């Protein structure tokens, strides 16, 4: 398990323990010279220390054990606070240059995979259900300029995500993927 915020953790360990730079370096997966530079104030200015005891990555007993013997290595706790996995997959960023391609991708999905629900298309392409509905019933303000283009070729979704949604809706991936 990787350490959460290693430089901030190193700052806290330097400020609050008597651990050696080598021990901190090993635990935080930083170079010893980087830990030395943090301690000297050359690197990490403005980084607020991150308490590894409070966030469940280290115990006080472990710090005391290693403080008394510089040859020992800190052992990270198996934390139940798995911060990285708590984050849900949110909306993905689509560059401005590709946002105009969303209606084209929606048109392709509606045409080639009519079994997909609006919520699935919305998740794949990152558009609103009302936009999908307007493209389905051909009342979109720009419908005359919309041409069906494959969302993977437009880099709006991945092959894996598309396959997962199609299979979830009961469809098959037998449709050609180069209709673009």
- Do 104 and 147 contact (CB within 8 A), yes or no? yes
pTM: 0.49
Listed residues 77, 107, 133: the one ending a domain? 77
Q: CA nearest 32: which of 44, 41, 20?
A: 20
Q: Is residue 104 part of a domain?
A: yes
Q: Write out pLDDT tens, residues 100-139.
A: 899 999 999 999 999 999 999 999 998 999 999 999 999 9
Q: How confident is the model at residue 82 (pLDDT cuts 50, 70, 90)?
A: very low
Q: Write out pLDDT tens, residues 162-175.
A: 989 999 888 776 64
| Total number of domains constituting the chain | 2
Q: Is residue 86 part of a domain?
A: no
123 plus 152 within the same structural domain: yes
DSSP label of 145: G
Q: How confident is the model at residue 80 (pLDDT cuts 50, 70, 90)?
A: low
Burial class (CB in 10 A: 0-12, 13-18, 19+), 28: buried
Q: Write out pLDDT tens, residues 50-62.
A: 888 888 889 999 9
The range of the structural domain enclosing residue 69 comes to: 6-77
Q: Is residue 87 part of a domain?
A: no
Q: Is residue 113 part of a domain?
A: yes
Q: Is residue 121 part of a domain?
A: yes
């Amino acid at each position: 398990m990787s350490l959460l915020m290693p430089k901030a953790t190193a700052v806290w360990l330097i400020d609050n323990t008597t651990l050696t730079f080598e021990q901190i370096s090993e635990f935080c997966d930083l170079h010893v010279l980087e830990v030395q530079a943090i301690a000297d104030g050359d690197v990490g200015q403005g980084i607020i220390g991150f308490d590894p005891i409070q966030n469940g990555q280290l115990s006080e007993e472990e710090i005391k054990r290693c403080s008394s013997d510089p040859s020992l290595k800190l052992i990270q706790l198996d934390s139940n606070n798995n911060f990285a996995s708590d984050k849900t997959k949110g909306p993905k960023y689509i560059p401005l240059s590709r946002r105009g391609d969303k209606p084209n991708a929606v048109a392709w999905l509606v045409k080639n995979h009519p079994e997909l629900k609006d919520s699935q298309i919305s998740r794949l392409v990152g558009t609103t259900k009302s936009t999908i509905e307007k493209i389905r019933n051909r009342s979109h303000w720009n419908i005359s300029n919309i041409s069906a283009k494959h969302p993977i070729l437009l880099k709006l979704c991945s092959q894996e995500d598309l396959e997962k949604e199609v299979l979830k809706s009961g469809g098959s991936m037998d449709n050609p993927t180069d209709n673009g």
